Structure 1
Amino acid sequence: MLSILAALLCMELCLSQRINTGKQTLPKPIIWAKPSSRVTKGTPVNIWCQGPQSASAYQLYFEGSFFALEKPKPRTSVSKAKFFIPQMTSNTAGRYYCFYQSGELLSEHSELLVLVVTGMYDTPNLSVHPGPDVTLGENVTFSCLLEGGTSKFFLLKEREPNHVQQGHGNKKAEFPMGPMTRAHRGTYRCFGSYNHHAWSFPSEPVTLLIPGDEGNTGLVPTDPTSSLVYWEDNLPTKESGLQKGSALWDHTTQNLIRIGLACIVLTALICLLAEDWLSRKRDKEGNNRSASWECRRRLSLQCSLEEEQKDAISMGGLKAIPGPGAI
């Protein structure tokens, strides 16, 4: 019994250690989109998720729901997986993140990748007041107008991934800027939007010039969707909420497993104690039956001896009485 109980306790300790090992998380993977995170409607896009060489599978999630599973090809120089979206639409625009699996461990989720679909509405008109030729220290105001009607606008500066401003207004939004420094020079475009992930066509570019910068070739307009990364202000809050939900789920699952293991061990212990009690009871009853049988056997033997003694005495008495012709 002790050996069985020791084995059960060892099993519980091993499983508990396995759970604690499972709590360890691997470093987060890297996620990116190609050709860009801002994609024209109907254009294909690839989402890449990269982890270590030991990664055996990758999982992609879209807006918190499972999207796809990919396994990297063996013997590749870089361990990564590609998730292909054949056509960008408003249904495929949104927030993506990925995990990778190594052995039985699952990594932390990657940073959030926000895919934006463009070309959904009319083209807005962008202008700047008092004009695109500015002097140092001057204040200017960009105006983005969309006749189709919307209340949300975005102003982007090319070649600066995180330079995105958000404005609100009825068909029109203004973006004051200044005092001017050389850091403000560059090419700007605006988009109209009904939500964070579906934008209009880009406006025509407007380039701010400071005297002496006319020959700067870096201000030549380029594809507005090729070098800009969209930044959403409330992403850290959503990400932390996702982490809290995942941690709460893990904690609850681990507690349920531990409770289950404790119940199994307790049930096994009760069964072993009950079996030991029954075994002792059976042995005691057997001993009692043996003692009773021995007592009865001895009593029977004693009774037989007493009967024989009585018979012997009776026979002796008969021999001592004289017969009629003895006088």
Structure 2
Amino acid sequence: MPSTIPALLCLGLCLSQRISTQQQTLPKPSIWAKPSFMVPEEKPVTIYCQGNYGAVEYQLHFEGSLSAVERPKPPERINKVKFHIPAMTSRTAGRYSCFYRVGELWSEPSDSLDLVVTGMYDTPTLSVHPGPEVISGEKVTFYCRLGTATSTFFLLKEGRSSVRRGYGKVQAEFPMGSVTASHRGTYRCFGSYNNHAWSFPSEPVKLLVTGDTENTSLAPTDPTAPELALWDHTAQNLVRVGLAFLVLVALVWLLVEDRLSRKRTRERASRASTGQCRRSLNTKTL
């Protein structure tokens, strides 16, 4: 009996210390990525970690190990920090989390952020059955096909953050069931080489659902959703060509303006010289 009392006292003290420690743990921070958690290869991305005002240190962890540290100044006016990745690669793709510290107290870890690198190797094809234009209530299935190197596929809808996963040797099926107006939108798919390395996106497929009299409005866009237009290479190339054309026009205009300005200067100088000669001749004649 006497030996039981110290054991009970020790157990009570340990539980008290554990409860005290748990009460002193700071709330977990928020973590997100911009422009998206899906980043084309070699493109930049910024990871944000938001904690409490007064935090003197933020730590970013990658796959469970310390990756980067930020110390905001002044800490009392800043409650979030940025961790910049200048060029996304397969080595920087993976699972991230962050912590912050106020005084000597550390926060709980944030939720996990899975950064995905896209634009790896091949491009899948996306199709929809029975077709891109259907009547509300019809059953629709998307098919994503990629003949090499993968058996895992992902389907995404533009403006939504949710991702659907499918499996198959060269093709995955994504049954949507009986569709409504909420299924309208633009879809793309990816083949996956691992959880954090995906293929180029497929060409977009726009699904049009008609005849839904109960719900004709679309759900609001999720501000955290990936912007699939980021991979519209044709649009990006057209913008680059347009900008290059404008720069070329501006250079040509500057060269022409410079040449005309020099010509006008020479003409003025020539007229001034001719006038001076005439005045000299008139003076000598007199």
Shorter-chain TM-score above 0.5: yes
Q: Which residue of structure 1 lines up, in the alignment, with residue 153 of structure 2?
A: 153
How far has the Cα of 1:209 moved from its partner? 0.6
> Which amino acid letter does the alignment assign opposite residue 211 of structure 1?
T
* Pair 1:45-2:45 in alignment: yes
> Is the 1:39–1:225 contact (alpha carbons within 8 Å) kept by the matching residues of 2?
no
Q: Specify the alignment match of 2:86 in structure 1.
A: 86
TM-score after normalising by structure 2: 0.66
Equivalent residue, structure 2, for 1:139? 139
- Structure 1, unmatched stretches of 5+, are 1-15, 219-223, 229-327
Q: Deviations over 1:40-63 (max 9, x none)?
A: 000111111111111010011111
Paired position in structure 2 for 1:60: 60
- Structure (1 or 2) with the greater strand fraction: 2
**Could you say if the C-alpha distance between residues 117 and 107 of structure 1 is closer, same or farther in structure 2, counting changes exceeding 3 Å?**
same
Inter-CA distance 61–75: structure 2 relative to 1 (3 Å threshold): closer
One-letter amino acid of the counterpart of residue 101, structure 1: R
Distance 1:130 1:115 in 2: 34
Contact 2:54 2:77 in 1 (8 A): no
What's the CA shift for 1:75?
A: 6.1
1:179 aligns to 2:175 (yes or no)? no
SS at match of 1:161: coil
Alpha-carbon spacing, 1:17–1:141, altered in 2? closer, same or farther (3 Å): closer
Q: How many aligned residue pairs are there?
A: 206
Please tell me the residue identity of whatever aligns with 2:84: F
Task: Tell me if the contact between 1:161 and 1:227 (Cα under 8 Å) persists in the aligned partners.
Answer: no
Larger radius of gyration: 1
Identity value in percent: 60
> How much does 1:210 deviate?
1.7
Distance 1:19 1:186, change over 3 A: closer
Return closer, same or farther for 1:186/1:38 CA change in 2, 3 Å cut-off.
Answer: same
Corresponding residue of 2:262: none
For residues 76 and 147 of structure 2, the distance between their equivalents in structure 1, rounded to whole angstroms, comes to 51
Residue number in structure 1 paired with 2:116: 116
Amino acid aligned to 2:201: P
| Cα distance in 1, alignment partners of residues 135 and 76 from structure 2 | 54
The corresponding residue for 2:282 is none
CA distance in 1, matches of 2:228, 2:79: 25
1:97 aligns with 2:93: no
Deviations 1:97-127 (Å, cap 9, x if unpaired)?
Answer: 0000001100011111110100012111000
Contact 2:181–2:210 (Cα < 8 Å) also in 1: no
Distance, in Å, in 2 between the alignment partners of 1:95 and 1:192 is: 19
* Structure 2 runs not aligned, ≥5 long: 1-14, 220-224, 230-286
Question: What CA deviation, in whole Å up to 9, does each residue of 1:300-325 have, x standing for no partner?
Answer: xxxxxxxxxxxxxxxxxxxxxxxxxx
**Paired residue secondary structure (2:58):** strand
Deviation, 1:77, is 3.7
- SS of the equivalent of 1:176 reads strand
Which protein has the bigger helix share? 1
1:216 Cα deviation after fit: 8.9
SS, match of residue 210 in structure 2: coil
Inter-partner Cα distance in structure 1 for 2:67 and 2:145: 37
Kept in 1, the 8 Å contact 2:38–2:116? The answer is: yes
| Structure 1 residue 31: Cα displacement | 0.8
* CA displacement at 1:21 relative to structure 2: 5.1
Output the amino acid matched with 1:42: E
Kept in 2, the 8 Å contact 1:36–1:227? The answer is no
Taking only aligned residues, the RMSD between alpha carbons, in angstroms, comes to: 2.7
- Give CA deviations for 1:28-49 in whole Å, capped at 9, x if unaligned: 1111111111100001111111
C-alpha distance after superposition, 1:274-324 (max 9, x if no partner): xxxxxxxxxxxxxxxxxxxxxxxxxxxxxxxxxxxxxxxxxxxxxxxxxxx
- After superposition, the C-alpha distances for 1:213-255 in whole angstroms (9 at most, x for unaligned) are 9x9999xxxxx94279xxxxxxxxxxxxxxxxxxxxxxxxxxx
Whether 1:169 and 2:168 are equivalent positions in the alignment is yes
- What is the CA–CA distance in structure 2 between the aligned matches of 1:139 and 1:170, rounded to whole Å? 24
Q: TM-score, normalised by structure 1?
A: 0.58
Aligned to 1:73: 73
Query: CA contact under 8 A between 1:32 and 1:48: conserved in structure 2?
Result: yes
Secondary structure, counterpart of 1:148 in structure 2? coil
- In 2, the alpha carbon distance for the partners of 1:161 and 1:126 equals 19
